[in-house]
Amino acid sequence: MRILKLITLVVMLSFQSHLFAGEGMWIPMLLEQYNEKEMQEMGMKISAEDIYSINHSSMKDAIVLFGRGCTGEIISKEGLLLTNHHCGFGQIQKHSSVEHDYLTNGFWAMSKEEELVNPGLTVTLMVEMRDVSEQMMAGVESDMSQAQRSARLKDNAKEIVDTFKKDSEYNAYIKAFYKGNQYYMIITETFKDVRLVGAPPSNIGKFGGDTDNWMWPRHTGDFSLFRIYVGKDGKPAEYAEDNIPYQPKYHFPISIKGVEEDDFTFVFGYPARTNEYLPSYALKMITEDLNPQKIKLRETRLEIFNTYSNKDPEVRIKYATKDARVANAWKKWIGEKGGIQRMKGVEIKQAYENEFQTWADANNSRSVTYGKLLPEFEQAYTELTPLNEAYDYYKEAGLAIELVKFAGYYSKLVNMVADEKDLDKKDKELKSLENRNKAFFKDYHQPIDEEVMAALLKLYDNQLSTDLKPAFFEEINSKFNGDYNAYTDYVFSKSLFTSQETVDGWLADFDKKAVKKIQKDPAYQMFIGLKEVYESKIKKQREALNFTLDSLQRIYMKAQMEMEPDKRFYPDANFTLRVTYGKVNGYHPQDAVYYKHFTTLDGIMEKEDPDVYDYVVEDRLKELYKNADYGKYADKDGTLHVAFAASNHTTGGNSGSPVLNANGELVGVNFDRCWEGTMSDLMYDPNVCRNISIDIRYFLFIVDKFAGAGYLVEEMDLVN
Ligand code: ARG
Ligand code: GLU
User: 212, 222, 323, 392: which is the annotated catalytic residue?
Assistant: 222
In contact, 44 and 684? CB cutoff 8 Å: no
Cβ contacts of residue 209 below 8 Å, gap of 6+? 324, 613, 614
Mean pLDDT, the chain, rounded, equals 95
How crowded is residue 151: how many other Cβ atoms within 10 Å of its Cβ? 12
The pLDDT value given to residue 671: 98
Q: What's the gap in Å between 633 CA and the centre of ligand 2? A: 26
The whole-angstrom separation of Cα 622 and Cα 599 is 16
Q: Provide mean pLDDT across the span 659-665.
A: 98
Q: What's the gap in Å between 656 CA and the centre of ligand 2? A: 9
Tell me the pLDDT band of 36, cut-offs 50, 70 and 90: very high
Is the CB of residue 672 below 6 angstroms from any atom belonging to ligand 2? yes
To which H or E segment does residue 442 belong?
A: helix 426-442
Test site for ligand 2: of 89, 648, 671, 682, most ligand atoms within 8 A of the Cβ: 671
The pLDDT value given to residue 22: 84
Test site for ligand 1: of 66, 86, 657, 692, most ligand atoms within 8 A of the Cβ: 86
Amino acid at residue number 96:
S
> What is the tens place of the pLDDT at every residue in 68-111?
899 999 999 999 999 999 999 989 988 988 788 898 999 999 99
Ligand nearest to the CA of 214: 1
- 3-class state of residue 570 by DSSP: coil
User: 76, 551, 655, 657: which is the annotated catalytic residue?
Assistant: 655
Q: Which of 400, 431, 599, 594 is nearest to 507 (CA)?
A: 431
Ligand nearest to the CA of 580: 2
The whole-angstrom separation of Cα 509 and Cα 366 is 67
| Cis preceding linkage at 447, omega within 30 | no
Q: Provide mean pLDDT across the span 207-228.
A: 97
User: 86, 219, 251, 597: which is the annotated catalytic residue?
Assistant: 86
Strand pairing report for 718-719 and 254-255: parallel
The pLDDT value given to residue 21: 66
> What is the tens place of the pLDDT at every residue in 512-558?
999 999 999 999 999 999 999 999 999 999 999 999 999 999 999 99
Q: Provide mean pLDDT across the span 245-254.
A: 98
Is the CB of residue 673 below 6 angstroms from any atom belonging to ligand 2? yes
Q: Is 35 exposed, middle or buried (0-12, 13-18, 19+ CB in 10 A)?
A: buried
The pLDDT value given to residue 20: 56
To which H or E segment does residue 161 belong?
A: helix 146-166
- 3-class state of residue 561 by DSSP: helix
The whole-angstrom separation of Cα 645 and Cα 494 is 53
Q: What's the gap in Å between 305 CA and the centre of ligand 1? A: 18
Q: Provide mean pLDDT across the span 360-370.
A: 96
The pLDDT value given to residue 321: 81
User: In the chain, what percentage of residues exceed pLDDT 70?
Assistant: 97
- Rounded to 5 degrees, φ, ψ at 83 are -145, -170
User: Which residue has the CA at smallest separation from atom 7 of ligand 1?
Assistant: 86
Test site for ligand 2: of 86, 651, 680, most ligand atoms within 8 A of the Cβ: 651
Q: Is 170 exposed, middle or buried (0-12, 13-18, 19+ CB in 10 A)?
A: middle
The pLDDT value given to residue 93: 86
Ligand nearest to the CA of 271: 2
Cβ contacts of residue 148 below 8 Å, gap of 6+? none
Is the CB of residue 450 below 6 angstroms from any atom belonging to ligand 2? no
Reported pTM: 0.92
Whether 222 is catalytic: yes
The CA-atom distances, in angstroms, between 574 and each of 180, 227, 327, 509, 577 are 11, 27, 24, 45, 9
> What is the tens place of the pLDDT at every residue in 559-589?
999 999 999 999 999 999 999 999 999 999 9
Q: What's the gap in Å between 653 CA and the centre of ligand 2? A: 6
User: Which residue has the CA at smallest separation from atom 10 of ligand 2?
Assistant: 652
- Rounded to 5 degrees, φ, ψ at 165 are -70, -25
Is the CB of residue 653 below 6 angstroms from any atom belonging to ligand 2? yes
Is the CB of residue 687 below 6 angstroms from any atom belonging to ligand 2? no
Ligand nearest to the CA of 206: 1
The pLDDT value given to residue 314: 87
Q: What's the gap in Å between 136 CA and the centre of ligand 2? A: 32
Ligand 1 contacts (CB < 6 A) are 86, 206, 209-210, 213-214, 324, 328, 652, 655, 672
Question: Which residues partner with 587 through β-bridges?
Answer: 595
User: Could you please report the per-residue DSSP string of 610-638?
Assistant: TTSGGG---HHHHHHHHTT--GGGS-TTS
Q: Provide mean pLDDT across the span 386-400.
A: 98
